[in-house]
Structure 1
Amino acid sequence: MWWFGRKKQRQASAIRQVERTVTLAGYGPLQVHVQIDCLGAVCPRPQLLCMRALDHMAPGEVLELVVDNPSTAEAIPAMDMTLGSTHLLTVRDDESWHIYVRKEALEAED
């Protein structure tokens, strides 16, 4: 928001396949399989990229979404319940939120 003196940030978002381990409070070490960099992006772009990535992930894989938009940080955990995924944790650092999501196996219908 340039009118408040904040530098305009980049708008490019990227979905990347990664293999790295993070340690999350309450979960211990977890392997992150997909990272989405949404710094500078506004709704609904981060949500759409998250949905696209989850569609291509296997059950049990973990996604890390990096955002700097407060409304996105609030919307993703609520959205996860409808996408067959579990919000693990949101970690705030100086300039962004790191949102960790695990894709769950879809339950078979009887």
Structure 2
Amino acid sequence: MGLFGRKKTEDSGGGGNATLTSGEVVSIARSVDCIGDSCPRPQLMTKKAVGQVGSGDVVEVLVDNPSSVEALPPMCDELGAVHLETIQEPRCWKVYLRKD
């Protein structure tokens, strides 16, 4: 245990599914937990995760920082990804990106 408690796992292998508001069910290839992180960390972790998945895979990013939520969708062009949707949950936003 570190000085500030348990180290947060920033990146998990994913698994599981998410249902978008359109009703489409997507399989999560990688999930990135950026809860409590501020810019630019969520953007850097998202870039890393998208780089590690295959074409057509979906990355789920959990963020609670409003500026990061706004910054992720415009990054998609440089990442070679498509922003599928951002869903607001009680404790965070879930941003879904699909790698081209």
Question: Normalising to structure 1: TM-score of the pair?
Answer: 0.81
Correspondent of 2:48 among 52, 55, 60: 52
TM-superposed CA distance for 1:90, in Å, is 0.2
Correspondent of 1:23 among 19, 26, 38: 19
Correspondent of 2:82 among 83, 86, 92: 86
Q: Structure 2: which 5+ residue stretches go unaligned?
A: 1-5
Deviations 1:57-89 (A, max 9, x none): 100000000000000000000111221000000
- Give aligned pairs, total: 95
Deviations 1:24-77 (A, max 9, x none): 122511101100000000000010011111111100000000000000000000
- Structure 1 residue ranges, 4+ long, deviating more than 2 angstroms after superposition: 10-13
Residue 68 of structure 1 pairs with residue 64 of structure 2: yes
Which amino acid is the alignment partner of residue 18 of structure 1? G
TM-superposed CA distance for 1:13, in Å, is 5.2
Q: Which has the larger radius of gyration?
A: 1
Question: Normalising to structure 2: TM-score of the pair?
Answer: 0.88
- Please name the residue that 1:5 is paired with: none
Cα 1:58–1:27 shift into 2, 3 Å: farther
Which amino acid is the alignment partner of residue 15 of structure 2? E
Measure the CA separation in 2 of the matches of 1:11 and 1:101. Answer: 26
Q: Structure 1: which 5+ residue stretches go unaligned?
A: 1-9, 105-110
Deviates more, 1:66-75 or 1:49-58: 49-58
TM-superposed CA distance for 1:12, in Å, is 3.7
- Please name the residue that 1:6 is paired with: none
Indicate the SS of the match to 2:13: strand
